[in-house]
């Protein structure tokens, strides 16, 4: 394996230079700030036989990007000690982003943040970058409202999320009412009814936005009201208009419920659609059943959404977990990574 260095004004520019020069298989092994933070120096490595199908040992590219970003013919390639440098902070974070399918623009932002902070431990560096780029709050912190509308694509886990929050707030000593507008789906009301009977809280069915407004007025003395919306097609404008009508008429705070393993680009599209009707927070579900979390980063980034509590099991009681930057960093770079890398 061989490596070479690149100078650029930003990490994003450096990454583009590396990809153009070394190809997509290149990995970042070291970074440092230069000129008082006005530029970065990035060292990248590539296998001696790369994706272009030629042995770089027999004919390495005869150019180097210098400080003036001009190509020079006297490039000197440095030998790379794979055992010593393969676990640098940038490389570990880069590999994690690739593993989770994080889009390039978000990866570049994360790597830029990691580079500027200069931390030496990958998990801590990623944690700091997440805190810098994303927002983490609890359901109670995102708004002064006490009524919430759980929306999202079909099968996202809205009904279970409503039940989990209702259970948590009841256990915390608050009065709770659960409302369902999901009256058409087979078994939808019955599933929620089973939870509300155990919690001993009212379950109210509504069939229109005005029904919901009337229900909120009737239960205005209740501490918290959670509304389970049907899983309408988010790519159908008429369906989005229905959800928007509920939000506008009721004044409920909308919460986007999204499964953790949703494709990154699909998540981006969904996030932009729901953000356009006033969604400010994302509630991830099925973190326990996913191994790729790039979609969550993509959704939060594209819609500028705050992460709130996440679903981590199918249990109604204890099935929620605060999704802090620290917890998300552990999902993105689990402790097993270090065990596997240092066997």
Q: What percent of the chain has pLDDT over 90?
A: 59
Half-sphere exposure at residue 240, Cβ-oriented, CA atoms within 13 angstroms: 15
pLDDT above 60 (res 70): no
Domain with CATH 3.40.50.300 in the chain: 139-321
Query: How high is the pLDDT of residue 186?
Result: 60
247 close to 279: Cβ distance less than 8 angstroms: no
Number of C-beta neighbours around residue 235 at 10 A = 11
Q: Tell me the average pLDDT across 119-132.
A: 91
pLDDT above 90 (res 253): yes
Q: What is the CA radius of gyration of the chain?
A: 24
Question: Distance between CA atoms of 168 and 164, rounded to whole angstroms?
Answer: 6
Query: How high is the pLDDT of residue 68?
Result: 41
Q: Tokens for 217?
A: 């007025």
Total-model pTM: 0.73
Min mean pLDDT across 17-31, 124-138, 235-249 is at 17-31
Per-residue pLDDT band at 307 (split at 50, 70, 90): very high
To which H or E segment does residue 173 belong?
Answer: none
Mean of per-residue pLDDT scores for the chain: 83
pLDDT above 70 (res 152): yes
pLDDT, greater one: 17 or 323: 323
Number of C-beta neighbours around residue 336 at 10 A = 8
160 close to 231: Cβ distance less than 8 angstroms: no
Query: How high is the pLDDT of residue 337?
Result: 53
Could you tell me which CATH number the domain at 139-321 has? 3.40.50.300
């Amino acid at each position: 394996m061989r490596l070479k260095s690149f100078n650029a004004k930003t990490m994003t520019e450096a990454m583009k230079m590396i990809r153009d020069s070394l190809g997509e298989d290149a990995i970042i092994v070291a970074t440092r700030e230069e000129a008082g933070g006005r530029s970065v120096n990035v060292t990248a490595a590539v296998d001696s036989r790369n994706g272009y199908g030629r042995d770089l040992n027999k004919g390495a590219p005869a150019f180097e990007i210098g400080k003036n970003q001009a190509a020079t013919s006297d490039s000197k390639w440095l030998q790379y000690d794979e055992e010593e440098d393969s676990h640098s902070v940038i490389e570990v974070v880069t590999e994690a982003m690739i593993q989770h399918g994080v889009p390039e623009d978000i990866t570049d932002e994360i790597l830029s943040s990691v580079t500027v902070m200069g931390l030496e431990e990958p998990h801590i560096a990623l944690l700091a970058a997440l805190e810098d780029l994303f927002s983490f709050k609890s359901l109670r912190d995102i708004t002064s409202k006490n009524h919430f509308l759980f929306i999202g694509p079909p099968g996202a886990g809205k009904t279970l999320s409503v039940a989990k929050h209702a259970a948590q707030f009841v256990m915390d000593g608050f009065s709770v009412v659960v409302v369902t507008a999901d009256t058409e789906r087979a078994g939808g009301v019955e599933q929620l009814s089973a939870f509300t009977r155990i919690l001993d809280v009212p379950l109210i069915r509504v069939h229109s936005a005005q029904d919901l407004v009337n229900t909120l007025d009737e239960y205005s003395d209740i501490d918290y009201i959670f509304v389970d919306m049907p899983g309408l097609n988010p790519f159908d404008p008429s369906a989005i208009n229905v959800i928007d009508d509920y939000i506008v008429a009721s004044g409920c705070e909308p919460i986007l419920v999204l499964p953790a393993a949703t494709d990154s680009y699909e998540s981006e599209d969904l996030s932009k659609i729901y953000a356009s009707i006033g969604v400010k927070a994302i509630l991830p579900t099925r973190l326990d059943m996913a191994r790729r979390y790039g979609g969550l980063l993509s959704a939060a980034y594209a819609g500028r959404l705050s992460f709130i509590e996440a679903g981590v099991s199918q249990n109604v009681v204890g099935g929620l977990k605060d999704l802090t930057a620290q917890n998300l960093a552990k999902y993105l770079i689990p402790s097993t990574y270090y065990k596997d890398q240092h066997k």
